[in-house]
């Protein structure tokens, strides 16, 4: 059989040309409204929690303000991602390496006990970090750490532990919806669109209508992959591990995720752990 003449490995599953993800900090009760809206619109988010701020009453926090209770974390964020924001939300550059490690690892372990899966992502409290902190986090098994800095092309990042976003959710000139629209309306536009913020911003501004104004226009696009932060990194790692034989007749996927390839312009999923004869597909 004749081998394909051209094989490409698209950036995202099923050949989606754009990915969208969002990140919210601190774990306030306002996250409930964000999750409810995201579930309705088919969006996914990553929620960075400080375990030391979570309630321990064994029942959801009934106050209109404050932080979530630990008992509601697993169910509330099901289908989304829970990530590290340290135990007490300190400026990490003011701590000793031992205390930085304690803040990160204790938060990670507490959150893992709540959600039942390895927690591998993080956002820097106050957006503060330096090279020494990055070096330390690398030894603690952190896959990525989100900053408050922005960049037009933010994925894949040069350093996953100094990961920039495209914009804060309340960005202006241009606003986040316009930025997304410019990317999506460009037929050649591709890559990640990434927003970050806090749930309390909608509450403090008495501006919950902006949750829909900002995020709903991003939803429902068939050529967009809606993912969490860690799903983005896991898929990128899987696509980089994919092995295409030199004769272009065979593909081997050693990872635990299916990876999409383009075989002479036709999309083909290579299942996890399998070898596929491309000349036969």
Residue-range domains of the chain with CATH: 1-16+243-281 (no CATH), 18-222 (3.20.20.370)
Confidence of residue 1 (pLDDT cuts 50, 70, 90): low
Residue percentage of the chain with pLDDT more than 70: 99
Confidence of residue 185 (pLDDT cuts 50, 70, 90): very high
pLDDT for position 124? 98
DSSP character at residue 122: E
Model-level pTM greater than 0.85?
yes
- How do residues 79-109 score in pLDDT, each as one tens digit? 999 999 999 999 999 999 999 999 999 999 9
Say if CB 217 and CB 180 are below 8 A apart: yes
Dihedrals phi, psi of 179, to nearest 5 degrees: -60, -45
State the Cα–Cα distance between residues 172 and 179, nearest whole angstrom.
10
Rounded (5°) CA angle 201-205-208: 75
- How do residues 214-227 score in pLDDT, each as one tens digit? 999 999 999 999 99
Confidence of residue 280 (pLDDT cuts 50, 70, 90): low
- How do residues 36-47 score in pLDDT, each as one tens digit? 999 999 999 999
Q: Does the pLDDT at position 18 exceed 90?
A: yes
Mean of per-residue pLDDT scores for the chain = 97
Say if CB 258 and CB 272 are below 8 A apart: yes
């Amino acid at each position: 059989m004749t081998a394909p003449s051209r094989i490409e490995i698209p950036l995202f599953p099923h050949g989606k040309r754009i990915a969208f993800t969002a990140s919210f900090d601190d774990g306030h009760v306002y996250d409930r409204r964000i999750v409810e809206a995201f579930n309705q619109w088919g969006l996914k988010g990553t929620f960075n929690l400080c375990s030391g701020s979570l309630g321990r009453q064994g029942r959801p926090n009934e106050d209109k303000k404050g932080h979530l209770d630990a008992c509601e974390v697993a169910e509330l964020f099901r289908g989304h991602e829970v990530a590290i924001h340290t135990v007490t939300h300190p400026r990490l550059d003011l701590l000793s390496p031992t205390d930085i490690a304690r803040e990160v690892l204790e938060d990670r372990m507490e959150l893992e006990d709540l959600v039942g899966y390895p927690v591998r992502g993080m956002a820097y409290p106050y957006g503060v970090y330096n090279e020494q902190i990055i070096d330390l986090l690398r030894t603690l098994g952190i896959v990525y750490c989100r900053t408050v800095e922005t960049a037009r092309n933010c994925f894949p990042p040069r350093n996953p532990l100094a990961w920039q976003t495209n914009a804060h959710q309340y960005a202006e000139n241009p606003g986040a919806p316009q930025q997304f629209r410019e990317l999506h309306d460009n037929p050649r536009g591709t890559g990640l669109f990434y927003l970050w913020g806090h749930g309390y911003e909608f509450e403090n501004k008495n501006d919950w209508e902006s949750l829909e104004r900002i995020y709903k226009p991003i939803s429902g696009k068939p050529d967009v992959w809606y993912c969490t932060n860690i799903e983005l990194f896991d898929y990128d790692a899987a696509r980089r591990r994919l092995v295409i034989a030199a004769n272009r007749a065979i593909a081997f996927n050693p990872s635990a995720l299916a990876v999409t390839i383009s075989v002479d312009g036709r999309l083909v999923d290579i299942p996890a752990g399998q070898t596929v004869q491309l000349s036969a597909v």
